[in-house]
Structure 1
Amino acid sequence: MKFKELNLNNRVLTALDKNNFSKATEIQQKAIPMFLENKNVFGKSSTGTGKTAAFVLPILNNINCDKRVIQAIIMAPTRELAMQIVTQIRIFGGGINNLTITPLIGGTEMREQVKKMKQSQIVVGTPGRVNDHINRKNLKLENVNTIILDEADEMLKMGFKNEMDAIFEQISPDSQVGLFSATVTPKVLSLAKKYMNEYEMIEIENQIEVNNNITNTFIFTKNVDKKELLKKVFELHKPKKAIIFSNTKNFTDKIADVLYDIGLKSVVINGDKRQSQRSRSINAFKNGQVNILVATDVVARGIDISDVDYVINYDISRENEHFVHRIGRTGRNNKKGDSITFVDNMGTMRQLKDIQKEFNIEVNEIEISEYNIERKQQTSFSDRNSNSRSRNDRLSKNSSSSRSGGSRDNRGSRDSHSATRSNSGEARSPWSGSNKGGGSRSTRGSRDNNNSRDSRRTRDSNYSRGSSSSRSVNYSSRDNKSRNDRKTDFKKTEWNAFKKNTNADWD
């Protein structure tokens, strides 16, 4: 279907023709007529389906540029996505006179935003900055007739629920609402029901296209120093322009330090960086001043940088879809690209297989031996037990020689030593607590001195020397009692618990 069949006005169609847009995608065909009929729209659609134009074009169609008041507000989870939406609005609205858009994102001067808002019909921003302007009385929303939540599931994951609630309190209940989400979770459904009394549901199947110009590989990095491996990757492949993705902000800085150690300069972009810092870093990377960008998923979408020949996933992305967006930073403009993913464990391997199946991606393994790195040898369980047994046998000999009464066997001596180490705050022997139920009989006895036979004898002899005055029970005569008589010293429940936790054969 062509855009001119969707009842858009001439100024929008002119802008589309000017930018060589003629055919509408599936979500555009379904959503645009609903928006033009002033219906609320809930769209299940991922990035790459054309959903931005699905809500931007109806807004541009209905906007009154003669009024210098805010008529539409669009919220996105990240600054980068917000700026991408602003760019799309400027492309599609390029032929509309007196149209003004203001991005409300963190890291930029609020005074400039306030000044520009006074002339704007559309604002695009993150929930945090939009809510900040509302609290400062800078942003008036009484004239808003359309509000869009783009990637609502991501905004919920990032903890923007309270900010979104506060923003909706400032908007007329008659305003049109558009909500777009890649996933439909119970929380997203609850959000839709809360903000939209009635809505039209649109579901679009995943239409993410994978770039066939990219050669995808992975390295199994279990028991491998990933920092050393990263150095080897750059030494062997010599990327001209590379992006390294990490899942955490802290690790982006650590990766940059690793690169610096081998004489490679890089810039870092993550959620902690101010917008001005991000912009300088992106420009330095685009212009070739720096050839390595280390980032979190904030740059997986929303940036278009040519000539990136390598993408390295230091961590595999938490979301399968983000993996495709990451590797899509290379192989652009019909050029060849490479991606390398570090796979830490079998769980990560299963995720990679799921990604291959879901998006029909071929990912081949590179053997770690190609980088002249050996895996660290893991000590087997039997080896650990053997080493522990030898060491504890030596300890038991020393312990038994220093005790006048000796021990029943080497195991008892070893266990007594283990208990002494444990009680003194030192690390336990591998024998201690090896079984879920408290270990073997001898282990339980060594771990709990108060319950072992040797410790009871020692304790009872101590009390017989005069320490029994601090207790109401005469422990000095305890060994003269029969076993049945001892049971009467305990309540029934205490006795059962005692039997369960001691290694002595009371019955």
Structure 2
Amino acid sequence: MSFKNLNLINPIVRAVTEAGYSKPTEIQASAIPHILAGSDILGCAQTGTGKTAAFAMPILQLLKRQTPEHKSIRALILTPTRELAIQIEENFKIYSKYLPLSQLSIYGGVSAGAQLSALRKRVDILVATPGRLLDLVNQRYIDLSKIEIFVLDEADRMLDMGFVNDVKKVIQMLPKKKQTLFFSATMPESIKNLSETILNNPEKVTVNPVSSTAKNVQQSVYFVEKKDKTGLLINILQDKGQERSLVFTKTKHIANRLVEQLESTGIFAMAIHGNKSQTARQTALNDFKNSRINVLIATDIAARGIDIDELPNVINYELPNVPETYVHRIGRTGRAGAEGTAVSFCDDQERNDLKNIQKLIGFTMPVISFQK
């Protein structure tokens, strides 16, 4: 099946194809037709199954027809963490490359100045964490009265983090007539009860999470202080010599900084992330595939299109917050029966992430001692 088979318009198909998406995932194939038909959705799916694209692409298609009256925010995606908000916004940017639609993410933990400046311009799609959203709504910077599509993403994490009352407040501010897409990784009674209060005769979409790693990938972990990670990375890359290594970071900032730090030691590297143009990302990827560079540093959003035969090494400079993302990362090596290695760095703040990853994959990684 191709994306065209899902009745997605050419501008979206073109954008996702350029981003390296070859065919729809299970949840995309299941959810997109229902969303395009205007149905509410009750989805049970982990991050890492292609869930964001499953709602983002049809939302863009449904909003593509604009009129002069469309001056307010038309779609709201509510998500529990800053990291997810940024990632979802970057996804929308990729898929809307050839559409006249704008998106913005807002979240706490940073000054609201830049977010308020962006809100003064046209924003079609708003991605938000509950606290910052309610704060700006209460200050009358945001109007939710014209929302046409509402997405509640990672509902179980939202409740686990104590956002249930904030979520209910947001829902009360939305218009009665809207399309609602509800996604959760698990479906305990509390989540089912919440979904029943906000969904109208929903279509149910369920996919199994990715949870296994290839047996031919040798996995290991270093326990290392955050400040010592760069030195450890340099040592490992120097030992790898001419072998290609794909290095994962959480943020664009860290990816850019690592490129500079590695080059200062004579290791030439390139970064790919959401702020890079498609041309720059494709150039870096081609140079990596053709071994003109041996080190590529990537954020998860930009790495989705990386499909390289005989890639020997994946290095997790930072562990992902979502365990399934780890499975996707190390799945870049050990393809087609080839051997591969996956090395992870774990600092004190990432111990819980490591625990969750090992629980998911059912495997305790051997620890390699680190000496400065």
Q: How high is the TM-score relative to the length of structure 1?
A: 0.50
Task: Provide the rounded CA distance (Å) in 1 between the counterparts of 2:237 and 2:114.
Answer: 38
- Indicate yes or no: 2:92 matched with 1:89: yes
Give 1:172 shift. 0.9
- Indicate yes or no: 2:127 matched with 1:154: no
Partner of 1:142 in structure 2? 145
Residue by residue over 1:405-435, the C-alpha shift from the partner in whole angstroms, topping out at 9 and shown as x without a partner, is: xxxxxxxxxxxxxxxxxxxxxxxxxxxxxxx
Partner of 1:110 in structure 2? 112
Give 1:96 shift. 0.9
Residue by residue over 1:362-397, the C-alpha shift from the partner in whole angstroms, topping out at 9 and shown as x without a partner, is: x564698xx89xxxxxxxxxxxxxxxxxxxxxxxxx
Give 1:239 shift. 3.7
- Partners of 1:141 and 1:171 within 8 A in 2: yes
CA distance 1:286–1:65, change in 2 (3 Å): farther
In the alignment, residue 4 of structure 2 is paired with which amino acid?
A: K
Task: Provide the rounded CA distance (Å) in 2 between the counterparts of 1:211 and 1:113.
Answer: 42
Q: The residue matched to 2:173 in structure 1 has which SS?
A: coil
Task: Provide the rounded CA distance (Å) in 2 between the counterparts of 1:151 and 1:70.
Answer: 21
Q: The residue matched to 1:43 in structure 2 has which SS?
A: strand
Task: Provide the rounded CA distance (Å) in 2 between the counterparts of 1:183 and 1:153.
Answer: 6
In the alignment, residue 40 of structure 2 is paired with which amino acid?
A: N
Give 1:121 shift. 0.7
Task: Provide the rounded CA distance (Å) in 1 between the counterparts of 2:127 and 2:103.
Answer: 7
Partner of 1:12 in structure 2? 12
- Indicate yes or no: 2:106 matched with 1:133: no
- Partners of 1:310 and 1:330 within 8 A in 2: no
Give 1:17 shift. 4.3
Q: The residue matched to 1:169 in structure 2 has which SS?
A: helix
- Indicate yes or no: 2:147 matched with 1:174: no
- Partners of 2:358 and 2:365 within 8 A in 1: no
Residue by residue over 1:195-244, the C-alpha shift from the partner in whole angstroms, topping out at 9 and shown as x without a partner, is: 2142111110123563667422479xxxxxx889x99xx88x94459xxx
Determine which structure has the larger strand proportion and give its number: 2
Give 1:101 shift. 1.0
Give 1:329 shift. 10
Partner of 2:47 in structure 1? 47
In the alignment, residue 114 of structure 1 is paired with which amino acid?
A: L
Task: Provide the rounded CA distance (Å) in 2 between the counterparts of 1:186 and 1:301.
Answer: 32
CA distance 1:194–1:216, change in 2 (3 Å): same
Partner of 2:257 in structure 1? 284
- Partners of 2:76 and 2:150 within 8 A in 1: yes
Give 1:170 shift. 1.2
Task: Provide the rounded CA distance (Å) in 1 between the counterparts of 2:20 and 2:224.
Answer: 46
Partner of 1:196 in structure 2? 199
- Partners of 1:214 and 1:330 within 8 A in 2: no
Give 1:84 shift. 1.3
In the alignment, residue 130 of structure 2 is paired with which amino acid?
A: P
**Equivalences for residues 256-267 of structure 1 within 5 A:** none
Give 1:38 shift. 1.3
User: Relative CO higher for 1 or 2, CA cutoff 8 Å, sep ≥ 6?
Assistant: 2
In the alignment, residue 106 of structure 2 is paired with which amino acid?
A: L
Where does the alignment leave 5 or more consecutive residues of structure 2 unmatched?
Answer: 239-248, 266-297, 348-353
CA distance 1:350–1:309, change in 2 (3 Å): closer
Task: Provide the rounded CA distance (Å) in 2 between the counterparts of 1:2 and 1:282.
Answer: 32
Task: Provide the rounded CA distance (Å) in 2 between the counterparts of 1:9 and 1:108.
Answer: 36
Residue by residue over 1:160-185, the C-alpha shift from the partner in whole angstroms, topping out at 9 and shown as x without a partner, is: 21221121111112211111111112
Q: The residue matched to 1:288 in structure 2 has which SS?
A: helix
RMSD: 4.4
Partner of 1:74 in structure 2? 77
- Partners of 1:214 and 1:339 within 8 A in 2: no
Q: How high is the TM-score relative to the length of structure 2?
A: 0.66
Provide the aligned length of Structure 1 versus Structure 2: 307
1:337 corresponds, among 336, 342, 347, to 342
Give 1:323 shift. 6.1
Q: The residue matched to 1:132 in structure 2 has which SS?
A: helix
- Partners of 1:103 and 1:125 within 8 A in 2: yes
CA distance 1:356–1:332, change in 2 (3 Å): closer
Residue by residue over 1:109-153, the C-alpha shift from the partner in whole angstroms, topping out at 9 and shown as x without a partner, is: 434323322411111121121111111111001111101112111
Where does the alignment leave 5 or more consecutive residues of structure 1 unmatched?
Answer: 220-225, 242-267, 270-277, 292-298, 343-348, 373-507
Q: The residue matched to 1:133 in structure 2 has which SS?
A: helix
Give 1:320 shift. 5.9
In the alignment, residue 102 of structure 1 is paired with which amino acid?
A: L
Query: Which structure has the larger Rg over C-alpha atoms?
Result: 1
In the alignment, residue 57 of structure 1 is paired with which amino acid?
A: M
Q: Percent identity, aligned pairs only?
A: 27
